[in-house]
Chains A and B, each alone.
Chain A
């Protein structure tokens, strides 16, 4: 485990213990999840108790303590999306990837998370893959999107523009 990256992140926040959540976010961004040894390391560096870091890291659902797939799919099941069939969409993903909520595919390509409102209700039902938004998702659109990510990961890894953008 390369801890120097983690140390750099902690340095960015001047080792301030009240920046714990931000530090964990950045680490997750970097490593894709929060491995336990890293959390222990963070606790030591910030002079916080391991128990404190553990409570914080397990409290927020956006933190994952388990390794996640290369692509994280978030299906929205907020009010608007729910009314527009979010659970059908979720079922479809479950079927297509053969994983259930919170799980990761065996090839480590996809992780499925269900969240409440992605803040784009007008496009319901909404899902995101990594940071990219997909609105008014249909079965066809979903399968095509999944396929696209499968293809992409077999050749290039960079996503053209990762910012909030819809398809």
Chain B
């Protein structure tokens, strides 16, 4: 493993070569705002909030730290005036793109950007096009039930061709990962509805308590994945998390009694 020395905000540390600068800085307790970063996903560099100033030899430049691999001879600063200015601009642009995003407004306030110079798009929208939903969907389903369409100012996130997608398993991963909470999902009368994706999926009833708990399609997807791993006759069962917890607790209790 290649260990190299680097300096972040004046503190020299030794890190493994090619680790992401953002992660290293955060481990050192340095605060860097992000909106499109998730440690379980590949970096993407969409929100531009994590910019830092990098110096190598005679050259200094601004770049995103989430997708900056640490190499020999890099000196990184996370708090220079240029960095702050770049973050403010990114936030201003985001405010114009997504005036309804609470998180963006809060960050903007923290950095002291109140009124953006750019006119907002006059439509209620909280999506900042960070691509987290698209990326997580790819990881969970191996597909893209939610995707980017168009480009430039027309770029948007939604189901392919704006139609309900067969590839959506209703797992809610996109709902949970969205930094601005703009994908809504609700379970109603045994149906999971994600309006933004035009998804409506029937929920399966728990074998034990009979309450609907997860989309049938999601359970089938999981079953298939588990069978890949554990063989064709693996049976996952259709038990909701609450009942499963109860069963496990009961089993542990039995064991504990036997041991005495």
List the interface of chain A (C-beta within 8 A of B): 36, 39, 49-55, 58-59
Q: A49-B138, A53-B160 are in contact. List 6 more A-B contacts (CB 8 A).
A: A49-B144, A50-B144, A51-B134, A51-B143, A58-B149, A59-B151
A159 to B137, CA, bound (A): 47
Q: How far is the CB of A21 from chain B (nearest CB, A)?
A: 14
A84 to B138, CA, bound (A): 47
Is B161 in the interface zone, CB < 8 Å from A? yes
Q: In the complex, which residues 227-242 of chain B have their Cβ closer than 8 Å to any Cβ of chain A?
A: none
Name 14 interchain pairs, CB-CB below 8 A, sorted by A. A39-B161, A49-B167, A50-B160, A50-B161, A51-B147, A51-B159, A51-B160, A51-B167, A53-B160, A54-B144, A54-B161, A58-B149, A58-B151, A59-B150
Please classify the interface of chain B as helix (H, G, I), strand (E, B), loop, or mixed, using the class held by over half of its residues.
loop
Is B145 in the interface zone, CB < 8 Å from A? yes
How many A-B contacts at CB < 8 Å in the complex?
46
* CB contact under 8 A between A55 and B147, given known A49-B167, A50-B167: yes
Please, which residues of chain B bring their CB within 8 A of the CB of A53?
Answer: 160
Q: How far is the CB of B77 from chain A (nearest CB, A)?
A: 35
Is B146 in the interface zone, CB < 8 Å from A? yes
Task: Assess whether A51 is in contact with B150, with CB atoms less than 8 Å apart.
Answer: no
A51 to B160, CA, bound (A): 5
Residue from B143, B147, B167 whose CB has the most chain A CB atoms within 10 Å: B147
Residue from A52, A58, A59 whose CB has the most chain B CB atoms within 10 Å: A58
